[in-house]
């Protein structure tokens, strides 16, 4: 069954395998989780800060906690990246591999002393949306955040391959 949609949330929910077209060509295909991992998505960790003064300190705390669980050879240095800094909001992208750091990190973020120290009004976390993957594909990003295994992604047929396969 092939379903076409412009709604990435819908594709994420109903699609076992998702193909993304860009500039009239099928650019990539794989499971939603594979595509998110391949194009460097993970978790969006958002902070509502009272001021911008402690932004760097908060980023350092998150990076420090992630380094404790993600080995350097698996990319601990790139496991936390700034996605957006606008006004008093800070949004970080945290790789899926860093999820082992979450219990301790969340306890630190919920601690009233930490909240005062970082001038933090609140925080939230969510899995990145397939829309982010689509935007990266549309920009021409090749991905490559994870090693590609042939079992993870279906091959994309050449433009007229269906004609050759027809009887």
Residue 151 pLDDT: 44
The answer on pLDDT for 147 being more than 80 is no
DSSP string, 41-105: --EEEEEEES-STTHHHHHHHHHHHHHTTS-GGGTGGGSEEEEEEETTEEEEEE-GGGGGGHHHH
Q: What are the CA-CA distances from residue 133 to residues 29, 31, 58, 69, 75 (Å)?
A: 11, 12, 26, 25, 20
pLDDT tens for 91-137 read 998 988 888 899 999 999 999 999 999 999 999 999 888 888 888 88
Q: Looking at the DSSP assignment, which residues form a beta bridge with residue 120?
A: 49
Average pLDDT over residues 6-13: 88
Helix (H, G, I), strand (E, B) or coil at 146: coil
Residue 91 pLDDT: 93
Q: If you average pLDDT over every residue of the chain, what do you get? A: 82
Residue 73 pLDDT: 67
Q: pLDDT grade, residue 158 (50/70/90)?
A: low
Residue 136 pLDDT: 84
CB neighbours (10 Å) of residue 85? Answer: 14
The answer on pLDDT for 18 being more than 80 is yes
Describe the strand order of the beta sheet including 120-127 as a list of residue ranges.
Answer: 80-86, 89-94, 43-49, 120-127
Residue 144 pLDDT: 60
pTM of the predicted protein model: 0.69
Average pLDDT over residues 143-161: 49
Q: pLDDT grade, residue 22 (50/70/90)?
A: confident
Closest CA to 44 of 130, 137, 111, 114: 130
- DSSP class of residue 16 equals S
- Kindly compute the dihedral angle of the four CA atoms of residues 145, 147, 148, 149, in this order, to the nearest 10 degrees: -150
pLDDT tens for 49-75 read 998 888 999 999 999 898 888 767 666
Residue 148 pLDDT: 40
The answer on pLDDT for 161 being more than 70 is no
Output the CA torsion sign for 115, 59, 95, 98: negative
The two three-digit tokens of residue 103, written as one number:
């219990």
Residue 162 pLDDT: 47
């Amino acid at each position: 069954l092939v379903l076409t949609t412009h709604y990435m949330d819908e594709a994420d929910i109903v699609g076992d395998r998702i193909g993304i077209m860009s500039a009239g060509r099928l650019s990539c295909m794989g499971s939603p989780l594979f595509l998110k991992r391949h194009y460097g998505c993970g978790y969006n960790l958002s902070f509502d800060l009272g001021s911008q003064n402690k932004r760097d300190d908060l980023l350092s705390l998150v990076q420090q906690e992630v380094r404790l669980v993600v080995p350097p050879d698996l990319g601990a240095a790139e496991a936390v990246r700034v996605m957006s800094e606008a006004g008093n909001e800070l949004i970080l992208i945290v790789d899926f591999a860093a999820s082992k750091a979450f219990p301790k990190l969340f306890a630190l973020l919920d601690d009233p002393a930490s909240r005062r120290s970082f001038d933090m009004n609140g925080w939230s976390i969510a899995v990145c949306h397939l829309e982010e993957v689509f935007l990266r594909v549309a920009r021409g990003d090749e991905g490559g955040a994870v090693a590609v295994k042939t079992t993870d992604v279906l091959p994309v047929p050449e433009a007229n391959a269906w004609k050759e396969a027809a009887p």
